[in-house]
Amino acid sequence: MKVIRLVSRFIVGLTFIFSGFVKGIDPMGTMYKIEDYLVAYNLDWAMPAAIYLSFLLVTIEFSIGVFLLLNLRIKQTTWAVLVMMVFFTIVTLFDALYNPVPDCGCFGEAIKLSNWETFYKNVFLMIPTLIIFFTHKYRQITISQKKQDTVALLFVIAFFMVSYYSYTNLPPIDFRDWKVGKNMKQSGKEKYYLVYENKESGEKKKYLASEIPYEDSVWMKNWKFVEQQIDDSQVEHKHHLQIMDYNNNDMTREIIENADYQFLIAAYSLDEADKKGVEKVVKLYKKLKDKGYDFALLTSSLKKRVDELTKKYDTSLPAYQADGIELKAMIRSNPGLLLLKNGVVKQKWHYSNIPNTKEILQKYPAK
């Protein structure tokens, strides 16, 4: 029974440590997921507390895992594990049945599970959790209570500091698509089809755009254009970001796959963006715009808000529309700065760490 209890502690403990760690080094991502749940359960009033709930959740989860492995405060830890597992098993069953949030985010961005997979995972973990809870008489206390409390407190403080660092900078480990070094260039090309209808018979035919017989006057007289269709099934999509200008033109590939250095200023909301951060990126743009670097502000804010910003800072910074959710996935900073070249993500910066002109010119010299 001691061996079974030990194995159970390791299974549950390591799972809690991993889950808490991958969410703890990305507290903004955890906050976004908590916000999804608050919206789904009509608890919008609690949105301002989302970031605090993020820190609280990941710190508790990671600490419980460590306490289990090291046998610290085992009585209280055993109760905490049972309560959390029962609570989250019920929540994930509700998620699986009604799908209020498509992805619970139990392992952050590191491992994606469906709601049913998450529920089954929790059901499996309930087995070792119950073993730990009902075999408390086999627990072994190896160090004094005072030492246990000291070690426990040190782990809590250390992990909280790691999470806070990730919040004020960027996650030290990036599990998302837009990680440094990744090539975001789409491979393959879309096929453009045009649908024409015969004016007499009403018959419809689909042609490749390059195969339309424009020089055949008889054909052109008898057929009229109906619609355009795009087939992108042969395109390998590296991301889901779509960049549109304010005339509704798709600029995604032109910007992302720019052969020169391309700075992307991602601000999912200009109203919520850090003001000093905005000032920093605008200042950088003004100093580098004539030195061979391209810039693009990506935001989900309305054009009116963009115009107010450009007027306030007296800048001609090119601005484009993009989905706020995708911008949040690109970088955990509002605003955040990315540097790409030929589709490859060269570097990313939190607004608190925007580089100066000298650093850019030395490390990323433009031609």
Summarize pLDDT for 184-218 with one digit per residue, the tens.
987 777 778 889 999 989 999 888 888 888 888 88
Residue 354 is classified by DSSP as P
In a 3-state reduction of DSSP, which class is residue 246? coil
Q: Over 298-322, what HEC string results? A: EECCCHHHHHHHHHHCCCCCCEEEC
Condensed to tens digits (0 to 9), the pLDDT of residues 89-131 reads 999 999 999 989 888 888 988 898 999 999 999 999 999 999 9
Of residues 251 and 102, the one with the higher pLDDT is: 251
Any idea which residue has 């049945």 for tokens?
Answer: 97
**115-134 and 2-24 are packed helices; what angle lies between their axes, rounded to 10 degrees?**
140
Could you tell me the sign of the dihedral formed by the alpha carbons of 277, 283, 288, 294, in that order? positive
Predicted local distance difference test score (pLDDT) of residue 87: 95
The type of residue at 358 is K
Predicted local distance difference test score (pLDDT) of residue 259: 93
CA gap 276, 350 in Å, rounded: 12
For the residues of 176-217, what is the DSSP string, one character each? STT-TT-B-PPBS--EEEEEEEETTT--EEEEEGGG--TT-H
Predicted local distance difference test score (pLDDT) of residue 43: 92
Show the CA angle centred on residue 170, arms to residues 167 and 176, nearest 5°.
Answer: 115
CA gap 339, 265 in Å, rounded: 9
CA gap 136, 354 in Å, rounded: 52
Predicted local distance difference test score (pLDDT) of residue 141: 66
The type of residue at 122 is N
| Cβ contacts of 63 within 8 Å, gap of 6 or more | 20, 152, 155, 156, 159
Condensed to tens digits (0 to 9), the pLDDT of residues 341-362 reads 999 999 999 999 999 999 999 9
